[in-house]
Structure 1
Amino acid sequence: MAILAPVAVAAQSAPPLNAADAAPAIAVDPAVRSRADALIPVLAGKPGYATLFADSFKRAVPEARFGPLTQQLRTTLGEPRGIERFEPIGRWAATIVIGYDRGTATGHITLDPAAPHAIAGLLITGTAPRDDSAAKVQAEVAALPGTAQIGVYALDGSTPAPVFETRGDGPGPLGSAFKLWVLAEAARQVAAGTLRWDQVVPVGTPSLPSGVLQSWPAGSPVTVQTLATLMISISDNTATDTLLTLLGRDRVDATAATFGAIGPVLTTREAFVIKSDPALVAAWSKGDAAQRRALLAAQASRIAGTALDPMMFSAGPLANDSVEWFARPRDMARLLAALKEAGPIVRGILSINHGVDPVTAARFDYVGFKGGSEPGVIALNLLARTKAGRWYAVSGSWHRPDAAVNEAKFLPLVTRALTLMTEGR
Structure 2
Amino acid sequence: MESVNTTSDRPCDPRCLVKSEAGISEGNVGQGVVDFPVAVVLPAAGSGERMGLSTPKQFCTFLNRPLISFTIETFERIPWIETIVVVVAKESHDQMLHIIDRFHHTKVKVVEGGATRHRSIFNGLQAFSESMEGPSPLPRPKVVIIHDAVRPFVEEDFLLKITLAAKEQGASGAIRPLVSTVIATTSEGYLDHSLERTKYRASEMPQGFLYDIIFQAYQRCSEFDFEFGTECLHLALQYSGTNAKLIEGPQTLWKVTYKRDLAAAECVIKETLSLSACLISGTMAETVELASKLQKNLAAHSMTLDLHPFVKGNDELLSKTRNFIQISARRESLSEITEMVKVLEEMNHALLYPVVIIWVHLCMSEEPFHRQNPDELSSIMDISMKAKQRNILLYGIEVIHSKIPELWERSVERLSEITAALIRDRNPAFTGQLLQA
TM-score by length of 1: 0.25
TM-score by length of 2: 0.25
Q: Which of the pair has the greater relative contact order for Cα pairs under 8 Å at 6+ separation?
A: 1
